[in-house]
Amino acid sequence: MSNERKPLPIVEVLNLRKRYRSTEALRGISFSIGKGEIVGFLGPNGAGKSTTLRILSGLVAADSGEAKVCGVDLAEEEGEVREHIGYLAENNPLPEDFRVIEYLKYRASLKGLKGSRKRERIKSVLEICDLERQISEKRIGNLSKGFRQRVGIADSLLAEPRLIILDEPTIGLDPRQSAITRKMMERLRGEVSFILSSHILSEVEACCDRMIILSHGQIVAEGTLLELQKKFIQSVAFEIVSKAKKIELQRSVRRIDPQCELLQDDPVEITGRRRFTFNCTKGQETVELILRTLLESNNFEISEFQVCRPDLETIFLKATKQNWQEMDLLGRGKNKIFKPQN
Amino acid sequence: MRFELFALFVSPATYVASFYFLALLGVGFRFFIESFVLTDWILPPLASLVVGLIFGAPALIPFLTMRSFAEERRLGTLETLMSAPVSNLGIVLGKWTASYLFFIFITIASFCFPLIISLWFPEQSHSLGFDRVEQWIGTLIFLLIFGASFSAVGIFASSVTNNQMVAGMLTFTLLTLYLSVMMFYFGENIDSQFTNGPTQVVWSCLGAVFGGLNKMQYFSVGIIDIPTVLYQFVVTFYFLILASTQIDQVKK
């Protein structure tokens, strides 16, 4: 048995449940987030993402279950937990009458920052969020959505929290402003843990270490992109650019994996090279074996070989599809009970 | 609290309300002073200012408090505020203190009217009793304790809705109702109506709250009635706790 101590997770959630009247928003979810991790929270609308984030921020109380932030139980020491958290709410509501600098000073005071530390932190977050002097003197009501979002992020960073919760931080932002937000997260990677809830899958794919996919208040998938790819996409698609004849190439490939299917073949150049797309159900190792065999035979003049990795969107749809079907069946079952008998 | 005060100072509605309130109070006070000898008013003339402020409060207090929680709820900034390491009661107290300080500011501004008379017309001021410090202190304390409970009612009304207008109307209604009940019991000795055990305790408590205006006669001559002060504190605390509970409901 190893004596090595595991670092305490920043977030520990165990069997968390929440119900809003007749709707069960969370059905006993459990997960943990380590120090410095950037975790993406994904899920269709109404999946329970915002509810989970609001519970972790201390804005909503859970019905049952346990949630700990930095080892502190939310149910017991809600105030202390808030000291460790920076929270950017969905739609980022801000008071419009205030200048950026005034607002940050006010928020810093609320978060217990005083004197030189308060000044230092405000200066630091203005720099991190690229809110130069001219912007900091402007009224929040006169700022563009991108700058308002940066003010919200600056606020969440003020008290040097150990966990930052960003609920849809890049919604409505242009690609440049989204990139700035990602850059800010990259800058803090390793120091601060992030929970990022977003519908923009490419963004989550680009900056998150791990993803948690929720559907109907349940976690339907959890892991790194590679783990999710392995879990949900059993077949591997690969592309070969070659001068070989279709039938010969197909025969050679099928000698290794008889189920390997040719999905597509397109001409790529006038030189006669073609791009062949295959689908292998036996996984990455078989694909590697196919490549080695084709290269060794020297008959195929392979100029390009590429494994097509399924993107997060494909994984997301696969992960949530099963849950949707299950819930749909449950729903139908319920309806049957209440159907009037003729 | 500073943020809340700032919010009040940047709101044009507060300025407009304060200006008209002080202007009307000033005009009323002038006419009262002029016709004082012709009236059968038994209290010191300074008490007229108290009456003006107390009965004008249902019109003034909504402008000071309606924005506090209703606007935060409408904009969604209450959520941001609640994500900071501050307790609900702390938030409620901050907002109440700000509106109360503004009420104190208006009270002090209204006391400038008799002060001006004292400085410019010392003889008349002497005959009106404006040179008696105890009257100034008594009336000021009376206004401060009632201002505290009125502001608390306004803060509570603002916490139950996300519409400023509804919050304002609710404050007006609650304060008018509170003043009407106090007026109803004005001049009556409620405590002596029921003499048996627990009923008497309940009625003496209610009597002290509802009969608050009765005590104006003590305060206006400089006698501080401690139970009245305490009961208004209880009313203030009660409405602030209600507001805090109401904010807590947002979490459910």
Tell me, what's the ipTM?
0.73
* Contacts with A57 from chain B: Cβ below 8 Å: 83
First to last CA, chain A: 66
Report the residue of chain B nearest A105, measured CA to CA: B3
The CA-CA-CA angle for residues A81, A87, A88, to 5°, reads: 170
Q: Inform me whether the C-beta atom of residue B89 falls under 8 Å from chain A C-beta atoms.
A: no
**Domain parsing of chain B, residue ranges:** 2-249
As beta bridge partners, residue A209 has: none
Per-residue model confidence as pLDDT tens digits over A17-35: 998 888 888 999 999 999 8
The distance in angstroms from the start CA to the end CA of chain B is 26
- In chain A, % helix, strand, coil (3-state, to 5) comes to 40, 25, 30
Residue A325 reports pLDDT greater than 70: no
Q: Which residue has the higher pLDDT, A286 or B131?
A: A286
CB count in 10 Å sphere of residue B19: 10
Using a CB-CB cut-off of 8 Å, the residues of chain B touching A106 are: 2-3
Tell me which chain A residues have a C-beta less than 8 angstroms from the C-beta of B75. Answer: 93-96
- Confidence band of A339 (pLDDT split at 50, 70, 90): very low
- Give the gap in angstroms from C-alpha A155 to the nearest C-alpha of chain B: 10
Does B82 contact A89 at a Cβ distance shorter than 8 Å? no
Across the range A92-96, mean pLDDT stands at 87
The answer to whether B168 touches B69, Cβ cutoff 8 Å, is: no
pLDDT of residue B196: 62
From the list A59, A89, A112, the residue facing B85 with the nearest CB is A112
Give the nearest chain B residue to A165 (CA atoms).
Answer: B83
| All residues at 6 or more sequence positions from A162 whose CB lies less than 8 Å from its CB, including other chains | A10, A35, A70, A84, A85, A192, A193
**Cβ–Cβ below 8 Å for B84 and A93:** no
Q: Which residue has the higher pLDDT, B163 or A327?
A: B163
Q: For A125-175, how does the pLDDT look when each residue is reduced to its tens digit (9 = 90+)?
A: 888 888 877 788 889 989 888 888 889 989 999 988 989 999 888 877 778
pLDDT for res B172: 95
Is-contact B98 B8, C-beta < 8 A? yes
B194 pLDDT higher than 70: no
Q: How many Å apart are CA A296 and CA A275, to the nearest integer?
A: 19
Say if residues A166 and A24 touch (Cβ distance below 8 Å): no
Task: Measure CB to CB from residue A89 to each of B10, B80, B252 and give the nearest one.
Answer: B80
Q: What average pLDDT does range B51-55 have in this prediction?
A: 87
In this prediction, residue A188 carries a pLDDT of 83
Distance CA A94, CA A15 (A): 33
A111 interaction partners in chain B (CB closer than 8 Å): 84-85
Nearest CA in chain B to A98: B7
Contacts with A102 from chain B: Cβ below 8 Å: 6
Chain A residue with minimum CA distance to B250: A60
Task: Answer for the pair A165, A192: CB distance below 8 angstroms, yes or no.
Answer: no
**Predicted TM-score (pTM) above 0.95:** no
Predicted local distance difference test score (pLDDT) of residue A237: 81
Question: Among residues A271, A270, A253, which one has the least CA distance to residue A262?
Answer: A253
Q: What is the pLDDT of residues A96-107, one digit of tens each?
A: 888 899 899 989
Handedness of CA B3, B4, B7, B8 (dihedral sign): negative
**Alpha-carbon distance A169 to A188, whole Å?**
16
The secondary structure of residue B69, as a DSSP letter, is H
Most B CBs within 10 A among A59, A83, A85, hence the mutation to make, goes to A59
The answer for B 91-130 residues in CB contact with A (under 8 A) is none
- All domains of chain A in start order, with CATH: 11-224 (3.40.50.300), 234-308 (3.30.70.380)
Q: Tell me the chain A residues in contact with residue B250 when contact means C-beta distances shorter than 8 Å.
A: 59
Q: What is the mean pLDDT of chain A?
A: 82
| Among A177, A184, A164, A155, residue whose Cα is nearest residue A93 | A155
Packed helices B112-120 and B88-110: angle between N→C axes, nearest 10 degrees:
30
- Which chain A residues contact residue B82 at CB under 8 A? 58-59
Structure tokens at A248: 């010969």
Query: Residue B75 in contact with residue A93, Cβ under 8 Å?
Result: yes
- Asked if B81's CB is within 8 angstroms of A80's CB, the reply is no
Percent of chain B whose predicted confidence (pLDDT) is above 90:
21
Q: Measured at the alpha carbon of residue A311, what is the angle toward residues A310 and A317, in degrees to the nearest 5? A: 95
Distance, CA of B191 to chain centre? 24
Q: State yes or no: pLDDT of A2 exceeds 60.
A: no
| Amino acid at the residue A273 | R
CA angle A97, A98, A103 (to 5 degrees): 150
Q: List, in order, residues 6 or more apart from A256 with CB less than 8 Å away.
A: A286, A289, A290, A293
**B6 contact residues in A (CB cutoff 8 A):** 98, 102
Angle (nearest 5°) at CA A288 between A286 and A290: 70
Tokens of B195: 């003499």
Give the pLDDT confidence score for residue B9 in this predicted structure. 64
* C-beta separation of A93 from A145 below 8 A: no
Please report the pLDDT score of residue B153 as a whole number. 95
Closest chain B residue to A21, measured at CA: B252
Going by C-alpha positions, the residue among A79, A205, A213, A103 that lies closest to residue A158 is A103
Q: Using alpha carbons only, what angle is made at residue A135 by residues A132 and A140, rounded to the nearest 5 degrees?
A: 140
Q: Compute CA B37 distance to the chain's CA centroid, rounded to the nearest angstrom.
A: 29
The residues, ordered by sequence, that sit 6+ positions from B214 with a Cβ below 8 Å of its Cβ are: B185, B186, B187, B188
- CA dihedral over A281, A282, A283, A289, signed as positive or negative: negative
pLDDT for residue A226 is more than 90: no
